[in-house]
């Protein structure tokens, strides 16, 4: 009987995406009293968070069949990369039949893709693929070797061409694995480049937590539990030492080492880093992207990097640039902070492109922002 | 109250490795009626599997405290990389407080390391680190682009030196992610190279499932559920097309493209592949490693690759080699098959090194076999 149950459990397919883009989820848990599913394909609900009230994923009940398999069938879903978890008798956990797990800060969730439309960018298509390398670079400023993720475009290894570079920064609680895993960066870029929509470029995805050398399990701290707020992430240390990263990239890859061929973009805390790095080195980047940026320094950010914000922004403006892109969702808890920042730029006469989307502070938006910004770079 | 419970849950540290190398595991599940832990740090128990009776991980009960947190404290553990899962009211799942998950075939388990002894090789130490790249290569023989994981040793990018290559093959149900994640290959090699115990080398970790182009979520099939037995994995197709991989590596990396600087090793199905590839191309590898090898073809393996086993083995022996290494655990279900194979080699007078260890068909052994074999290569 135990063997039979095990066998039955192993045969379970979950999630099963149907031809009409509805999805069936299944979980073998004969002893459970209740099983729910929560995920961003369900209507959002309001939830309390440390950053105030935010939209959170909804919940739905699964129903147990005669074999002890709990089942939920969704409605027809729009093209998107979705995430979900199961809640078994109040305990939130992953789907044991879906091997695809992505870690966001300290939690792993399952994902699935409904193809079509913009979601086709997130899937591996039959196109030429770039290479993704995890390398280590020396940061003299931080006094340690640090891990970095580098995307090189298709054909990089077999050409002599020099390429532009996008520095792509993660948010609070993230690390050098965030953009490549949660952001589907390599899939998005392979597909945009193959379609002729984005120029071939190198993408450098560093770790923005200056007290760490690498993601959990990949660095000297071993299997630590990531925290949302990491000490020293927004005190100027990262910005002041960012040239270590640029120097590494420009001395280790075939790049065009000038302003016209450097872009920097980041989400949330990475948007904060992007804003401050790009004005602190005000003649370094022709392309700047702020994705749901945690925009202005906190009052306790008293480092040298923040001592002359207005002056360096003015210098950045005077030096000129090709693109200063700001994107945010209408329900993002940082919406007002970004509005204030835009008003500041308006007051200075500093030009920017502004995109306001539905939704909030989510990877769903950040993947789309990358897809929208990459085609604007290096043109 | 819900907020408070959430806060308490987020503060949970699990696993907590104590100074004396005992470990406390914790799980916040106030509604559960029973919570157990299962893992390879507990005494093994006999279990039935599709391959017959094997040693499986033991189980222990957690006890619930007044806050709804279930707790188990282990005894003092020896240095090792261990895995574990929780069983909540009969449902096997991962530890939500341990972000470090490794996928083995279709299941994710948590891991932790007790340092010291040989387990120090599995941790990221303060040494120079190699680069790990996920690349795509063209396989004309299989008619597709395929993903491969490549380790290059520390300093590779900033030298003109040419390096030897180890081709390292996974087992049934694995893919190009197996050796780098479950096998801790980059950590083992960084540490062995830094200690002067292994020569700097390139390690190519291809995908041995010829019907796939990549691991789940990384290829054209999307987020498929891996199976233990994949069609066409042991019918000769992989062996017959292995030169596509060697050609890719030798035309894309600075290598010494001769027999003296090529090694091949693999575990289980990958040991089978290793044995057959190394004799089918009998003058190609000076170093061969069979780790718990699934050694001889099944009766339905009638392809050209298997038509002349004895003759090609004889040719391989006549051509000469530096190392033919066979390792297996005493309780491995393939022990007898390996014994028969050794008797065959003895009968031919074909020399080999033989290492017999405790334990069975486990990654714990394969990490050790890699650690033992790498220092023997290219000397």
Nearest CA in chain A to B159: A252
pLDDT band at B229 (very low <50, low <70, confident <90, very high): confident
Check: CB of residue B110 under 8 Å from CB of residue B138.
no
Q: Of the spans A97-106, A322-331, B48-57, which averages the highest pLDDT?
A: A322-331
Residue B122 or A99, more confident: B122
Minimal C-alpha gap between A190 and chain B (Å): 12
- The tokens 């995109």 sit on which residue? A355
pLDDT at B3: 47
Residue B68, SS3 per DSSP: coil
Query: Using a CB cutoff of 8 Å and minimum separation of 24, what contacts does A335-343 make?
Result: A337/A294, A337/A295, A337/A296, A338/A290, A338/A292, A338/A293, A338/A295, A340/A295, A340/A296, A341/A275, A341/A293, A341/A295, A341/A296
Q: What are B289's strand-pairing partners?
A: B265, B325
Any idea which of A10-14, A279-283, A373-377, B309-313 has the lowest mean pLDDT? A10-14
Mutate to test the interface with B, among A7, A217, A254 (most CBs of B within 10 A): A217
Task: Tell me the CB-side half-sphere exposure of residue A68, using CA atoms within 13 A.
Answer: 14
Residues A100, B30: C-beta atoms closer than 8 Å: no
Q: Which positions 261-280 of B are in contact with A (Cβ < 8 Å)? A: none
Any idea which of A69-83, A90-104, A233-247 has the lowest mean pLDDT? A90-104
B293: closest CA among B319, B318, B323, B326? Answer: B326
Residues B113, A223: C-beta atoms closer than 8 Å: yes
pLDDT band at B2 (very low <50, low <70, confident <90, very high): very low
From chain B, the residues in CB contact with A96 under 8 A are 92-93, 107-108
> How far apart are the C-alpha atoms of A369 and A265, rounded to whole Å?
10
Which helix (H) or strand (E) is A188 found in, with range? helix A185-194
Largest CA distance in chain A: 76
- Write the residue in B29, B125, B145 that is nearest to A129 by C-beta: B145
From chain A, the residues in CB contact with B114 under 8 A are none
Minimal C-alpha gap between A170 and chain B (Å): 18
> How far apart are the C-alpha atoms of B141 and A367, rounded to whole Å?
36
Q: What is the pLDDT of residues A177-206, one digit of tens each?
A: 999 999 999 999 999 999 999 999 999 999
Q: For chain A, which domains are there?
A: 2-115 (2.60.40.10), 125-376 (3.40.50.1820)
Residues B89, A32: C-beta atoms closer than 8 Å: yes
pLDDT band at A108 (very low <50, low <70, confident <90, very high): confident
Q: What is the pLDDT of residues B44-87, one digit of tens each?
A: 888 777 667 777 789 999 999 998 999 999 999 999 999 999 99
Start-to-end Cα distance in chain B:
64
Check: CB of residue A82 under 8 Å from CB of residue A112.
yes
- SS3 of chain B: helix, strand, coil, percent, to 5: 25, 30, 45
Q: What is the pLDDT of residues A132-179, one digit of tens each?
A: 999 999 999 999 999 999 999 999 999 999 999 999 999 999 999 999
CA-CA-CA-CA dihedral for B104, B109, B113, B119, to nearest 10? -20
Length of chain B: 379
Q: Which positions 9-68 of A are in contact with B (Cβ < 8 Å)? A: 13, 29-32, 48
Residues B99, A3: C-beta atoms closer than 8 Å: no
Q: Which positions 157-186 of B are in contact with A (Cβ < 8 Å)? A: 157-158
Residues B29, A91: C-beta atoms closer than 8 Å: yes
Which helix (H) or strand (E) is B269 found in, with range? helix B269-280
Q: What is the pLDDT of residues A264-294, one digit of tens each?
A: 999 999 999 999 999 999 999 999 999 999 9
Residue B285 or A225, more confident: B285
A336: closest CA among A52, A37, A42, A49? Answer: A52
Any idea which of A218-222, B144-148, B204-208 has the lowest mean pLDDT? A218-222
A282: closest CA among A310, A247, A249? Answer: A310
Average pLDDT of chain B? 93
B73: closest CA among B14, B131, B156? Answer: B14
Minimal C-alpha gap between A128 and chain B (Å): 8
Nearest CA in chain A to B155: A136
Q: How many beta-carbon pairs under 8 angstroms link A with B? A: 143
pLDDT band at B9 (very low <50, low <70, confident <90, very high): low
Residue B236: is its pLDDT beyond 50? yes
Residues B89, A89: C-beta atoms closer than 8 Å: yes
pLDDT at B10: 62
pLDDT at A52: 73
B92: closest CA among A217, A91, A33? Answer: A91
């Amino acid at each position: 009987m135990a063997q039979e149950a095990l066998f039955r459990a192993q045969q379970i397919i979950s999630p099963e995406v149907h031809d009409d883009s509805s999805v069936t989820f299944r979980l073998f848990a004969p002893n459970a009293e209740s099983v729910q599913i929560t995920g961003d394909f369900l209507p959002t609900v309001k939830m309390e968070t440390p950053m105030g009230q935010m939209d959170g994923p909804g919940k739905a009940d699964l129903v147990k069949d005669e074999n002890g398999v709990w089942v939920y069938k969704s409605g027809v879903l729009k093209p998107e990369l979705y995430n979900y978890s199961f809640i078994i008798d109040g305990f939130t956990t992953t789907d044991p039949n879906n091997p695809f797990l992505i870690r966001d800060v300290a939690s792993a969730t399952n994902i699935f893709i409904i193809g079509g439309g913009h979601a086709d960018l997130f899937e591996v298509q039959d196109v030429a693929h770039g290479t993704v390398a995890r390398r280590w670079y020396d940061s003299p400023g931080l006094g340690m070797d640090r891990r970095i993720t580098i995307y090189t475009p298709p054909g990089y290894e077999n050409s002599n061409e020099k390429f532009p570079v996008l520095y792509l920064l993660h948010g609070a609680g993230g690390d050098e694995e965030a953009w490549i895993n949660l952001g589907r960066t390599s899939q998005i870029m392979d597909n945009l480049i193959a379609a002729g929509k984005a120029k071939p470029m190198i993408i450098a995805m560093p770790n923005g937590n200056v007290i760490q050398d690498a993601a959990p399990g990949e660095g000297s701290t071993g299997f630590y539990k990531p925290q949302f707020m990491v000490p020293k992430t927004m005190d100027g240390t990262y910005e002041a030492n960012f040239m270590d990263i640029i120097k590494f990239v420009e001395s280790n890859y075939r790049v065009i080492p000038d302003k016209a061929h450097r872009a920097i973009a980041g989400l949330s805390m990475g948007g904060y880093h992007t804003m401050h790095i790009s004005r602190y080195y005000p003649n370094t980047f022709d392309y700047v992207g702020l994705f749901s940026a945690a925009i202005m320094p906190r009052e306790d950010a008293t480092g040298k990097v923040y001592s002359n914000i207005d002056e360096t922004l003015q210098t950045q403006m005077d030096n000129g640039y090709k693109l200063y892109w700001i994107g945010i969702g209408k329900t993002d808890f940082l919406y007002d902070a970004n509005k204030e920042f835009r008003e500041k730029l308006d007051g200075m006469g500093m030009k920017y492109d502004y995109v306001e989307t539905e939704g909030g502070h989510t990877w769903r938006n950040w993947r789309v922002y990358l897809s929208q910004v990459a085609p604007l770079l290096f043109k």
